[in-house]
Amino acid sequence: MLEDKILVVDDEQSMREFLEIMLKKEGYKVSLASNGEEVLKYIDKDIFDLVLLDIRMPKMDGIAVLKKIKSTSPETVVIMITAYASADTAIKAMKEGAYDYITKPFKVDEIKLIIKNALEKKHLQKENILLKRVVRDRYVFDNIIGQSPKMLALYDLLEKVAPTKTNVLITGESGTGKELVAKAIHFNSPRKEKPFVTLNCGAIPEALIESELFGHMKGAFTDAIATKKGLFEMADEGTIFLDEISELPLMMQVKLLRVLQDREFKRVGGTDDIHVDVRIIAATNKDLERAVKEKRFREDLFYRLNVIQIKLPSLRERREDIPVLAAHFLKRYSEELNKSITRISPEALHLLLNYEYPGNVRELQNIIERAVALGTDQELTAHNLRSYLDEQIHTKKGMIDLDIPIEGIDLEKVVEDLERTLLVKALDKTMGIKKKAAELLHINFRSMRYRLEKYGLNDGQD
C-alpha cells in the first residue's frame, strides 16, 4: 500500500519538527521544507497527497507557493497554516485552491482530524471517478450470461481464479466479453473495494503509453504542464486491465516486465522508484504465442502474464445461449428506450440462431438494440432483423475474400461456414420450404437434407 505523502512547509524549525513527529506517528510519510524555493524542488520531483503550508514565509509567501503547487500538481490537497488569522487571507487562499486553513496555536487533535478528513475526501473523489468510469452496476458472475457447457466451465474457472492474486490472460475473439470477465474477476476478489483501472493498449499513441501507465513529472515533455500520476499508481491495491496487450510496443513490454518482476517503476522524468501492489489482467484477440515466435512479443512477458489463461468461447461455439442473451438484451433496451417490446417471435429467433456473429455477443447486443429502437409493436419480429442480417450476410459471407492472411486459414471451416450461411439464407428466402431452397442452390433434395442434418438445421419436417 502506498503511504499518504505529506509535505510540511514552515520557516520555524521547531514547528516543522513537531509536525513531523506527530504525522509520522499517524502513519504518514513526511517531508520538510523551510521556504518556497525548497517546496518547488520537492514538487518538481514527486507528487504529495497533502501539503501543510505556512502563509507567512520569507522570499515567497504561502499564497504564491500555493499557486505553484496547484499549477504543478492540481490533485494535491493544501491546508494553510497562519498565526495571523484574517478572513481576507483565508478567502484568498480558498479561492486559489486551498482545502482549509488552521491558525496557530492549534490543537493536535484538531489538525489530525482536518488532515484525516481532507485525505479521505481526496481518496473518495478518486475512487468515485474510477468507479464511474468502469462500473454501471456491481459485476458479479450473474452478469456473464449463458448456461451452455462452455459457460458453466467458465463460471467454475472464474470462481477459482477471482480470490487469488495471480495475473490472468484473457483470450478470445472481439466481442466475446473479455472486459466483462476482467471486471467480474476483480469485483469477486479481495480487491473489490479498490480501484479497477482500464487501458486499451491499442488506443493510445506509442509516445504517450509510458506516461499513461506510469505518470510523468511536470516538464518531462512538451505537453507535461503538470505532474500526473499514472494508471499503476491509481490502481494501487486494486486491478489494472490491459486490453489489446498484443499492441503494446516492444520498448514498453520491457518496462511492463520490470513492474511485474519488481512491483516498482519511475514516472517519466522522475528519479524516485514508486512501489505498488497491483493485480494485472491482460486480454487479447490475437495469438500471442505466434507473436512470441515472430519476435513481436517478449517471451518472458508472455509467461509472466499467462499464469492463468481464460479462453472465452465465440458465440458460434455456444449457440444454445443465444435465446437467453437475446431475451436479456431485449429487456434491457426496452426499458432504456422506453419501449413495450416484451417477446421475440419464433421466426425472429430462428434468424438469430442461424446467424454467424463475427462480432460475437457484442454484435448480438447491437442487433437487439437496433431492432428495439426501430420496433413499434410488442413483439420483435423477423422483419425487424432481416434487413440488417441480410446486409451482414451479404457483406461478410456472400462475398468471398480470396486474400489469405499470413497465419493461413482453415479451408474446411471457411467452406463449411459459407455453405451453412447459404443454406440458412436459402431457407429464409423460401420461408423454410426445403425443396424450393434446394432448387435455389441448384442441388437435389437428398443433398439438401444431408447438408441440413450435417449442420443441425433439420427440423425433422420436409
Which tens digit of pLDDT belongs to each residue from 78-119? 998 887 656 577 678 888 888 888 887 888 888 899 998 888
Same domain, 49 and 198: no
Same domain, 446 and 322: yes
In whole angstroms, give the CA distance from residue 122 to residue 50.
9
Does the pTM of the predicted model rise above 0.75?
no
Would you say residue 362 lies in a domain? Answer: yes
Banded model confidence at residue 133, pLDDT cuts 50, 70, 90: very low
Same domain, 31 and 90: yes
Grid coordinates of 18: 513537531
Q: Percentage of the chain surpassing pLDDT 90?
A: 45
Same domain, 97 and 47: yes
Rounded to 10 degrees, the C-alpha dihedral 409/301/202/277 comes to 140
Would you say residue 191 lies in a domain? Answer: yes
Would you say residue 170 lies in a domain? Answer: yes
307 closest CA partner among 168, 181, 161: 168
Same domain, 289 and 339: no
Please count the structural domains in the chain: 3
Same domain, 19 and 65: yes
Same domain, 299 and 154: yes
**What's residue 143's pLDDT?**
67
Would you say residue 461 lies in a domain? Answer: no
pLDDT reading at 318 higher than 90 = yes
pLDDT reading at 278 higher than 90 = yes
Q: Is the peptide bond before 105 cis (omega within 30 degrees of 0)?
A: yes
Express each pLDDT in 214-259 by its tens digit.
Answer: 999 888 888 788 888 899 999 999 999 999 999 999 999 999 999 9
Average pLDDT, the chain: 86
Q: Residue 248 belongs to what domain range?
A: 141-311
Same domain, 165 and 263: yes
Same domain, 300 and 323: no
Instruction: Spell out a b/e string for 339-360, using b for 16 or more CB atoms within 10 Å of the CB, else e.
Output: bebeebbebbbbbbebbbbbbb
In whole angstroms, give the CA distance from residue 424 to residue 5.
65
Query: What is the CATH classification number for the domain harbouring 379?
Result: 1.10.8.60
Banded model confidence at residue 394, pLDDT cuts 50, 70, 90: low
